[in-house]
A and B are shown apart, each in its own frame.
Chain A
Amino acid sequence: MSRQCPKCLTKEYNNRNMVMMINECGHPLCKNCVETIFARNVAPCHQCGKTLKKNTFWEQMFDDPMIEKENFIRKKLKKIYNLKEDDFPSLREFNDYLERFETIIFNLTNGIDVAETELEVKEFQIRNAELIERNRKRLDADDLWIKEMLEEESMRVKRLQDEAMLENTVPSNESKAKQIINELRQTDLPAEVILDRQRKLQIEAELAEKEAAKKKKEAKIVQQRRMQETASFGPLRTAGAPYVHRVPELPLNGPKLPRIEDLANLGYLSHIRMPSVGRVAGGYVAEIGCMRALIDSRQDLCT
C-alpha cells in the first residue's frame, strides 16, 4: 500500500489521510490534486492528456490502476452485453459470445485496436437493441434462486408468528361457541338476536385485531428507524423491577449509636484528634474516626 501521487509526490507515509482518486484513463491522482487541477471541472489528464471531468473520478480501491480501469470498462459494457444463455440457440454460441465479450474488454483496457473495438461494440448495440432492452428487466438464474430463498425466509417467520397468535386465540374460539350454545339454550331471546350480537362482536374483534396488527407494524418501523439513528453501545437490558433504595442496616447488637450529625453538638469531637488539612482535603472528617471508634465500642456489647 505504498501509493504515491504522481503529481504532488505525497506518499501515504507523509499524509495518512491521502485519498487516491482514479479516472477512466487509468491514471491516479490524490484527492487534493484533483481539487486543485480540476478547479474548472474540465482539464487534461496529467499523464495521457485526455480531457477529463472532475465528477468522473472515483476513489481508487485497488493498487493496480489497470484493475480499476478494467472494472470500469466491464461495468459499462455489461449493460450492453447482457444477453443470457437462453438468448442463444446453442451452448457453444453462448460461450463464443462470452469469449468475445472478454476479448473486447481486454482490448479496451490495454489499448489494443481501440477504434475497431469501439465500432464493434456500437454495431452490437444497434443490432441487438431489443434483446438488450428486454434483458434489462430479467433476472438471472442465480438471482431467481436468491429471491426464492428470501421469500421462503419471510414466509417462515410469518408462519411462526401466526402460530403464536393462533395459540392465544384458539381456546377463546371454542369457549365462544360454547357460550353461544349456552345462551341459545337458556335465554328466551330469539335466536337471530343472539346470533346478530355474536356477529357484531366478532366483527369488532376482527377490527380490533387489524388495528393491533397495524399498530405493531408502525411500532416496528418506528423502532427500526430509531435503531438506525441511535448507536447502541452495549447489550440492551430488559427492564426489571424498579430499584428502591433501602438504607443498609448496621447489625450492632448493642446500645444505640448517636447519629453522625449529632456528634459535634454532643461534644464528642472535642476529645478526638483533629485531622490535618491534608486529610480534610481528602474527604476525611473527624466524625468518621469518631464514629468508627463508637461503632467498635458498641458492637456486640449485648451478646
Chain B
Amino acid sequence: MFSLEELQGIRNQANQDYKARYSDVLEPGDEEMFLKPEEEGLLCKIVAETGLRFGDDFRPAIWPSVRWIAFTYFKRFFLRHSTMEYSPKNIMMACYYLAAKVDEFNISIDEFLVNLRSGTPQGNAETILTLEPELMLKLDYHLTVHSPFRSFEGFLIEMKARLQLGFDLEQIRDHSTRFFKRALIGDCLLLYSPSQITLAAVKYGLQQCEKEEIMKDYLAKIFEIDTWKSDPEDVKKMEGLAQRIDQIIEFVFEQAKPIDSEANGSLQDRMREWGTFSARIEQRRQAASGNPNSNELSDDDL
C-alpha cells in the first residue's frame, strides 16, 4: 500500500515521461507550456466532481458501486498516465461505461449517450468505444474492484445483531453515503483498504448522530476483547484500527476541500493555452518524422 508522497511521486513520473516524449521537437521556453503535476491534479479533481454530479444525474439511476468502480478506474489510470495525453473527460465517460459493464448494470450505449450533455452522440460513442479496450489495457486488466458497500451492509448487520443499540442504526446510512461520495474525490481509495474506508464511514455516521461511543464497543466486540481478559495483540490491533479510521476521516475531508474559483479560472486559461500548444508541437513532430519519409519517396522516383 502506498503513501501519499509515493502517489505524488508516481504522478510526477508520468508527467515527466510525457514531456520526455516530445523532447526532440521542443524549443526553448516551451517547457513552461506543459502542464505541471499540480495543475494536472487540479484538473483531475474538477473532472472528479463533474463525474460525481454525472453519477447523481444519471437516468436510469446507477448503483453507487458502479460509481465507485468508475472512480477507481479513473484514479488508477491517471496514476500512471498524464492528463495531457488523454482527455480526462473522455476517460471518465469510458470509465463509467466500463464500470457499468463490470458491475453488470445493464445499460446500452445509446441509453448511456442520452445522459451525456456535451458533444454529439456519434462522436461520444466513437470515443467511448475506442477508449474502452485501451482503458482496460492500461489498467492491466485488473477489472475487479472491491467497493465498500457490501462491507457497509456487513457492519450494519453485525452491529444490529451483536450490540445492544438504543437507537435505529439506519439513521447513519445517509451520512455514510455522503461520506462515500466525499471519499471519491480524494485518493483514499488508492491508499486504504475498502473495509477500513467503510468503517470510517460508519464512524462518521455515528459521529453525526452523536453516538460515537458505539464504535468503541463494536470494535471491542469483534476483536473479542473483554475488560478482564484481553489479549495484548488484539488490543494493539484494535487501537491501531481505531487510529487508522480516524486518519481516514481526516484525510477524506482534507482532500475534499472545494477548489476556489480563481484557481478554476486560471486553470481554464491554461487548458486553452495547452490545447493550442499541444497541437503545435504535434505538428512539429509530424513534420520532423514526416520529412525523411518524403525524401525517400523522391529518391525512389529517381
Contacts and interface: CB of A to CB of B under 8 A. Distances in A.
Interface stretch (B79-87, B191-199, B276-284): B191-199
B25 interface: no
Interface residues of A, number: 22
B237 to A, nearest CB: 5
Contact of A294 (B154, B194, B240): B154
A273 B195 CA distance: 22
A295 B157 CA distance: 12
Given A268-B161, A271-B157, A293 B195 contact: no
Contact of A296 (B150, B224, B234, B241): B150
Contacts of B161: 266-268, 270-271
Interface string A263-294: 00011101110000000000000000010111
Nearest to A256: B224
Given A256-B224, A297-B151, A297-B195, A302 B158 contact: no
A6 B195 CA distance: 86
A254 B195 contact: yes
Nearest to B222: A255
Nearest to B169: A271
Interface string A242-259: 000000000000111000
Contact of A303 (B1, B162, B198, B222): B1
A151 to B, nearest CB: 64
B157 A296 contact: no
Contacts of A300: 193-196
Contacts of B158: 268, 294, 297
B195 A294 contact: no
Contacts of A297: 150-152, 154-155, 158, 195, 198-199
Contacts of B151: 293, 296-297, 299
A165 B13 CA distance: 69
Nearest to A300: B193
Contacts of A298: 154, 195, 222
A301 interface: yes
A293 B240 CA distance: 23
Nearest to B150: A296
A47 to B, nearest CB: 75
A299 B199 CA distance: 11
Contact of B157 (A254, A293, A301): A293
B240 A302 contact: yes
A220 B153 CA distance: 66
A197 B294 CA distance: 101
A292 B153 CA distance: 10
A266 B160 CA distance: 11
B contact residues, range: 20 to 34
Interface centre among B154, B158, B160, B194, by most chain A C-beta atoms within 10 angstroms, is: B154
B224 A303 contact: no
A296 B199 contact: no
Contacts of A295: 154
A263 to B, nearest CB: 9
Contacts of A271: 156-157, 160-161
B42 to A, nearest CB: 31
Contact of A255 (B157, B194, B223): B223
B150 A301 contact: no
A296 B162 CA distance: 17
B146 interface: yes
Nearest to A290: B157
B160 to A, nearest CB: 4
Interface in B89-109: none
Interface centre among A255, A272, A297, by most chain B C-beta atoms within 10 angstroms, is: A297
A270 B195 CA distance: 23
B206 to A, nearest CB: 15
Contact of A293 (B153, B196, B222): B153
A254 B244 CA distance: 13
A270 B241 CA distance: 28
6 contacts: A256-B222, A292-B150, A295-B154, A297-B199, A302-B237, A302-B240
Interface of B: 1, 146, 150-158, 160-162, 193-196, 198-199, 222-224, 234, 237, 240-241
Given A290-B157, A294-B157, 20 more contacts: A256-B224, A266-B161, A267-B162, A268-B157, A271-B161, A293-B150, A294-B154, A294-B158, A296-B150, A296-B195, A297-B151, A297-B195, A299-B146, A299-B193, A299-B194, A301-B193, A301-B195, A301-B241, A302-B241, A303-B1
